[in-house]
Amino acid sequence: MFKEKKLILLLLSLVTAILITGCSGDTSIVELTKDVDGPSQVIVGEESDEFTVTGKTGSTYYWEVKELSGENLGYFTNQTGSKTRFVASTDALEKDTIEIRALISNEPQEWIEIEVLGSKHENKFYKGGFHSIVATKDSSLTSDYKGYLAGGYIKDVGDLEPSPYIVKADNRGLMIHEKEYEGDGRFYDIEDIVLTGVGDRYYVIGYRRLNRDYFEPYIAKLNKKFEKVEQYTYPKPIYGDSFLKGAIGIEENVSMGITHIVAAGSYQVESGEVVPYLAKVDVETNEMETKIIPGIDGSYSSLSAIAETSQGYLAVGESDYAGTNRAFIISLDSELTQTGIVDIQDSQRLHQIKKVGDNRFVVVGEDGYVGIVDSKGSILTKLNIDSNLSFRDILVDNGDIILVGQDRSSQEGVVYKVDESTNNATLLGSYGNYLHAITKSTDGYYLLAGTSIDFYNYAVKIDPDTGQLVDRQ
C-alpha cells in the first residue's frame, strides 16, 4: 500500500508487545463517506465487497470510476443500483489507487479513493515494520470473521523515533481497522486470548517515553477499537531506558482461560546497570506484580521472550559479560523467582522461546542458533544453521519447527523449516528485508510479518509446503 498516512492519532504513548483478547466481528465494510459504505480496498480481477448508498435516498442511482481517455480501470456489477460491487482491471492495479463515486438522483457525490491489491497475498502499509502477527477469528452469531492482526511501528522520513502501529485484516489481506498511536515506540508481540464474558480486550505491552531522556516499561488494556481501558506502569522511579519486550498469556485456572499476562524485558537501576525485569498482570483485577532479577553477570542484561513450563517459566535474553555479548536462559518458579541460569556459548543473543513438546522448548537467536532445551533450560540438542542468520520468531507446526528472521549477508527476510528428529534445516523462502513474526492462519497457511525491501510494514501469506505466496481468498 503506497498511500499517504491518514491515521487517527491517539493520546497513548506506548510501545512493544500486544497481547490480544478475543476477536471482533468486524468486516472490510467501513464508512467511506457520509453517504457511502464499502471496502477501502479491492482485489484485481475479483468482485469487491459491496458498496452501498447509506445516506440519501434517491430516485435513481449511478456509479462511476474516474478514468482518463482510453483507460479501462474496471466495471461495476450493478451500475444503476443502490448496492454494487467493483471489479478492478490490471490497469487499475498499475495505478495502485482509483477513485469512484455514486450519483444519487443525478447528483454527483464526492470521489472516494480505493486501493487496488494484487492477486497474491502480499501487503505493504506504511514506512515502518511489523514485529508481531496473530491469526484471529470470530464465529459468533453475528459474524464469521477470520483474519489477522499485526503490530509494529511507523517511522516516516524526518521522524526521530518510530510510533506504534496496529492493523487488522481479513484472510484475504483486506484491511478492517488500523491505528497509529502518538508517541515513541513500537509493538513486538501478539497473542490472541479470550476473556469470558468481557469481550474483546487487547493488552499492549512494552515501553513508552517517560520524558525526553528515558523510556519506561508499560502495559495497557485496549478495547476492540484500540481505545485505552486500563494502563499499568512500573511503580518505582525510572533511572534510565527500561523496556518490556515479550509476553505470554497464562492459565492459572484452566476452567477460566487466560488469567494473567506475564511480560519480560529490562530495567535500569540507580547504579546505571541494566537488569532483567518481569511484570505480571491479573486480567480480572488489573493488579500488577513486578520483579527485578539481580545477579546476572555484566552491566547490561535483558530478557526478550518468556515461556511457561510445568515448574514456572523459562526466559531468554542477552548479557554483556566481560565486554562481549552472550546469550542465556534463566529458569523461574511460579513466583518469578530465578532458580537457575544456562549460558549459551553459540549465540550472542536469544530472541525467542516456544514450547515444542513435553518438557521440550526451542530457543533461537543470532548466529543461526537453534537449540532444544528442557524445562530447566538445559541443552538437549543444538545447531547453528549459518552465522549470517538472525532468527526472531518460531512456529511449531505438526512436528516441524518454522523459523523467521534475516540473512544479514543478503539483507533478506528468510523462512526456514527445521526437522527436530534429524536437525536438518531447509530454506522455505525469502521475503522482504526482515521477517520478525510468524503464525498459522485460520485457513492453514503461514502468515509472516516484518519489513519490506523498501522498509514498509509488510505481511505475506505463504503455502507451508512450497513456501510460495498464495492467492487472496
Note the pLDDT of residue 144. Answer: 72
Q: Cα(132)–Cα(127) distance, rounded to whole angstroms?
A: 16
Grid cell 468486524 in the structure block, residue: 26
Sort strands 112-117 and 97-104 into parallel, antiparallel or unpaired: antiparallel
Burial code (b: 16+ CB inside 10 Å, e: under 16) for 246-279 equals: bbbbbeeeeeeebbbbbbbbbbbbeeebbbbbbb
Note the pLDDT of residue 251. Answer: 76
Burial code (b: 16+ CB inside 10 Å, e: under 16) for 349-376 equals: bbbbbbbbeeeebbbbbbbbbbbbbbbe
DSSP 364-376: EESTTEEEEE-TT
| Beta carbons of 297 and 321 less than 8 angstroms apart | yes
Tell if the pTM clears 0.95, that is, is over it. no
Note the pLDDT of residue 118. Answer: 97
Note the pLDDT of residue 211. Answer: 65
Note the pLDDT of residue 143. Answer: 63
454: buried, middle or exposed (CB in 10 Å: 19+, 13-18, 0-12)? exposed
Note the pLDDT of residue 16. Answer: 44
Q: Name the 3-class secondary structure at 93.
A: helix
DSSP 48-72: PSPEEE-S---S-EEEEE---TT--
β-partners of residue 75 are 87
| Beta carbons of 409 and 373 less than 8 angstroms apart | no
Q: Cα(418)–Cα(385) distance, rounded to whole angstroms?
A: 10
Residue 258's nearest CA partner among 238, 240, 281 is 281
Q: Cα(364)–Cα(390) distance, rounded to whole angstroms?
A: 8
Residue 41: which residues within 8 A CB-CB, separation 6 or more?
28, 114, 115, 116, 117, 174, 175
φ, ψ (nearest 5 deg) of residue 322: 55, 30
| Beta carbons of 93 and 19 less than 8 angstroms apart | no
User: Which region, left, alpha or beta, applies to residue 226 given φ > 0 means left and ψ of -120 to 50 means alpha?
Assistant: left
Q: What angle do CA 207, 193, 252 make, to 5 degrees?
A: 95
Note the pLDDT of residue 149. Answer: 87
| Beta carbons of 102 and 76 less than 8 angstroms apart | no
DSSP state of 322: G
Identify the CATH homologous superfamily for domain 122-462.
YVTN repeat-like/Quinoprotein amine dehydrogenase (2.130.10.10)
Domain extents in the chain: 45-117, 122-462
Helices and strands in the chain: count of H runs, count of E runs: 1, 40
Q: Which regions of the chain are under pLDDT 70?
A: 1-26, 138-143, 157, 190-200, 210-212, 235, 253-256, 322
Q: Cα(339)–Cα(178) distance, rounded to whole angstroms?
A: 42
Per-residue model confidence as pLDDT tens digits over 28-82: 898 999 999 999 999 999 999 999 999 888 899 999 999 988 899 999 999 999 9
Note the pLDDT of residue 9. Answer: 38
| Beta carbons of 171 and 145 less than 8 angstroms apart | no
